[in-house]
Amino acid sequence: MRILATALLLILASLSAAMAQQLPGNKETIEIGLSTDTIAITSGFRGTDLTVFGALDNADPLIQRQGRYDIVVILQGPERDFVVRRKDRFFGVWINAESVSFQHIPASYSLASTRNLQDIAVPKTFAQLSLGVNNIFYEPMPDGFGSSASLREFTKELPRLKLKQNLYSQRPGDVQFLSSTLFRATLSLPANVPVGKHQARAFLFRNGEFLRESSTSLNIVKAGLEYRIYKAAHENSLLYGLFAVFLAVITGWMGRLMFRKD
Amino acid sequence: MGSGSELGIYLPIAEISVNIFVLFGMGAAVGFLSGMFGVGGGFLITPLLIFYNIPPAVAVATGANQVIASSFTGALSHFKRGTLDVKLGTLLVIGGVVGAGVGIYVFVLLRELGQLDLIVSLLYVIFLSTIGGLMLLESVRSMRRTRAGQLASLKKPGQHNWVHRLPFKMRFRASKIYVSIIPILALGAAIGFLSSIMGVGGGFIMVPAMIYLLKVPTNVVIGTSLYQIVFVTAFTTVMQATTNQSVDIVLAFLLMSGGVIGAQYGTRIGQKLRGEQLRALLATLVLAVGLRLAIELFVTPDDLYSIAIALAAPGAS
């Protein structure tokens, strides 16, 4: 199987003493973990699900029975700068016209939650946490846009394009409680997942109120011959170019040898 | 999962999965045509790659790389036979290197501006429709001539034109010409520019320009043109690799290996068959490829918006 699948699991309850201290407020803790800190994907990789396990401790049994605990887990890719362009028609030809540049944008963003976000908390809560595809701060480059109207327009298009490329995804219902303490979140790793350091974060909500978060990181690297070629092209580009020329010369010459009829 | 990927191969630079046999076949088909008609084939490979969803930047850079394979052996055998003007060729290379350098600079600029795909398509539409149109016209004319029972004869080029009044003349013994180096450098530069922006060898412009502009005898034209193409496409490949990292060696190898095999059969068939009908066919093919590219420019795209990694800080312009 070429698909080097998912990293699994881990961390189980930190069974820290839950007994004596009956604090009135936020005694709940949340933790997530991954079985590995590095995932190597090969060139045949066509996307897969990443399962993240986590534990909710010191939960209030009453609230838990009512189902008033909610968890949102995200996996956020490395930050990159992007430019969004719009085509306009000039003399019948479609040409890239206006563009807006953004900086520090997560290259990928996968979200899983126990329920639809609007059922978990009010929009303002998510906005404050910058949680969810529509709440990520899409920061424009200081001189990367023309007018504030176009900035608004392109800021709306950026997440739409990312969702279309499957680089952003939101999966309500894909955080499930396996027991009263253990939960499982299923996130998307698309085929075109960017390499680099990804951040997994879990957010705990109780009765629509944000309590705390836990995070861990995951390194995604590409493995295999194709990735070594890619790396060579970027890190030793002169040598790579010379080799490309050499390969062409040899191929042409070999073809001639093979077919020579004397 | 993973089924259907058996014939697939992942292109490390183009970053897409493709079918090996489609690309090998593409190389072989274009190699066949180029063997049959004695053309480089770069001007067919790049648009075909674009149709196959290879990013235009990669298609152009890899096209230049692929041209080396098909031109190298040709240049070598012309060199052995002495049908190659090294002095003239070297001047063309010098012009070509300058032109390719400028071309790479423009290439980077267009890429930053997000206009590279458009300009590549536009250039191809212009060149393919011009060349295809001229070839079709020529072959129809010669078909008519043959039907009328006349012998097709090469028009003898006129003795003097404006090119011969330019200064800085130099004598080229192999070509038996005495001509200014200005048009030679300019021609080389123009071809070099096209090589880096379009990923072509440029023989289809070089050969007629050498014959009609410089009055180079036909027996050294092909060899000298191939000599220039080898060096300029090699230079372009290295430049593309270092500035844009857009040469896909896996893609190039598939095309080249298909190409050298196809070319062998193309040459054999081309020697047996009569030209006019085939040339009309090639012209029609070239026109069809150009038309297909042209249509894409006018059709409303599915999505008016697109997103790309920002290559450089804007605001510089």
Task: Give tens-digit pLDDT for A60-110.
Answer: 888 888 888 999 999 999 999 999 999 999 988 999 999 999 999 999 999
Alpha-carbon radius of gyration of chain A: 24
In a shared domain, residues A200 and A257: no
CATH label of the domain that carries residue A181: 2.60.40.10
**The pLDDT of residue A250 is above 70:** yes
pLDDT band at B252 (very low <50, low <70, confident <90, very high): very high
**The pLDDT of residue B93 is above 90:** yes
Cβ contact B307–A2 (<8 Å): no
In a shared domain, residues A203 and A170: yes
Q: Looking at residues A239-248, what average pLDDT do you find?
A: 95
The SS3 assignment for A178 reads: coil
Cβ contact A238–B242 (<8 Å): yes
Q: Looking at residues B184-188, what average pLDDT do you find?
A: 92
Q: Which of B307, B309, B317 is the best mutation test for A, with the most CBs of A within 10 A?
A: B307
Q: Collect all residues of chain A within an 8 Å Cβ-Cβ radius of residue B307.
A: 82-85, 157-158, 161-162, 165
Cβ within 8 Å of A, B 51-90: 65-66, 68-73, 76
pLDDT score recorded for residue B150 = 57
In a shared domain, residues A113 and A229: no
From B15, B257, B307, residue closest to A82, measured CB to CB: B307
* Contact criterion met (CB below 8 Å) for A46 and A191: yes
From A44, A241, A252, residue closest to B241, measured CB to CB: A241
Nearest of A41, A53, A31, A50 to residue A187 by alpha carbon: A50
pLDDT band at B101 (very low <50, low <70, confident <90, very high): very high
Cβ contact A86–B304 (<8 Å): yes
pLDDT tens column, B143-169: 888 777 655 444 445 556 777 777 788
Nearest of A3, A2, A6, A5 to residue A200 by alpha carbon: A6
Any domain includes A129: yes
Cβ-proximal residues to A56 (8 Å cutoff; 6+ apart), any chain: A28, A29, A30, A69, A71, A177, A181, A182, A183, A204
The whole domain housing A248 covers 224-262
Alpha-carbon radius of gyration of chain B: 20
pLDDT score recorded for residue B74 = 82
- Rounded distance between C-alpha atoms, residue A184 and residue A204, angstroms: 13
In a shared domain, residues A49 and A161: yes
Question: Which of the 8 DSSP states describes residue B300?
Answer: P
In B244-297, the DSSP E strands lie at none
In a shared domain, residues A233 and A182: no
The first and second tokens of residue A215, run together, are 């995070």
CB of A217 within 8 Å of a chain B CB? The answer is: no
- Report domain extents, chain B: 8-146+161-298
Total number of domains in chain A? 2
A·B CB contacts under 8 A: 185
Cβ contact A83–B304 (<8 Å): no
Any domain includes A177: yes
In a shared domain, residues A231 and A128: no
In a shared domain, residues A207 and A256: no
In a shared domain, residues A114 and A175: yes
Residue of B nearest to A234 (CA): B245
CB of A236 within 8 Å of a chain B CB? The answer is: no
Buried b / exposed e over B126-163, threshold 16 CB at 10 Å, is ebbbebbeebbeebeebbeeeeeeeeeeeeeeeeeeeb
CB of A127 within 8 Å of a chain B CB? The answer is: no
CB atoms within 10 A of CB B114: 18
Question: How high is the mean pLDDT of chain B?
Answer: 84
Any domain includes A261: yes
Q: Collect all residues of chain B within an 8 Å Cβ-Cβ radius of residue A1.
A: 1-2
In a shared domain, residues A166 and A258: no
Q: Please name the residue that has the structure tokens 């027991």.
A: A179
Cβ contact A2–B315 (<8 Å): no
- Rounded distance between C-alpha atoms, residue A200 and residue A192, angstroms: 18
What are the residues facing A76 on neighbouring strands? A109, A199
In a shared domain, residues A119 and A69: yes
pLDDT band at B2 (very low <50, low <70, confident <90, very high): very low
Percent of chain A with pLDDT over 70: 89
In a shared domain, residues A65 and A171: yes
**The pLDDT of residue B5 is above 60:** no
- Min Cα distance B149 → chain A (Å) is 37
pLDDT score recorded for residue A225 = 86
A129 burial type by CB count under 10 A (0-12 exposed, 13-18 middle, 19+ buried): middle
pLDDT score recorded for residue B222 = 84
Q: What is the ipTM of this complex?
A: 0.84
In a shared domain, residues A124 and A193: yes
pLDDT score recorded for residue B264 = 83
The SS3 assignment for A94 reads: strand
Residue of B nearest to A146 (CA): B315
Any domain includes A23: no
pLDDT score recorded for residue B159 = 55
Any domain includes A13: no
CB of B154 within 8 Å of a chain A CB? The answer is: no
**The pLDDT of residue A20 is above 80:** no
Cβ within 8 Å of A, B 278-307: 297-301, 303-307
* Contact criterion met (CB below 8 Å) for B127 and B195: no
Q: Collect all residues of chain B within an 8 Å Cβ-Cβ radius of residue A259.
A: 261, 264
- Rounded distance between C-alpha atoms, residue B10 and residue B20, angstroms: 9
pLDDT tens column, B263-294: 888 878 777 776 677 778 888 888 999 999 99
CB of B263 within 8 Å of a chain A CB? The answer is: yes
- A104 φ/ψ angles, rounded to the nearest 5 degrees: 55, 45
**The pLDDT of residue B225 is above 80:** yes
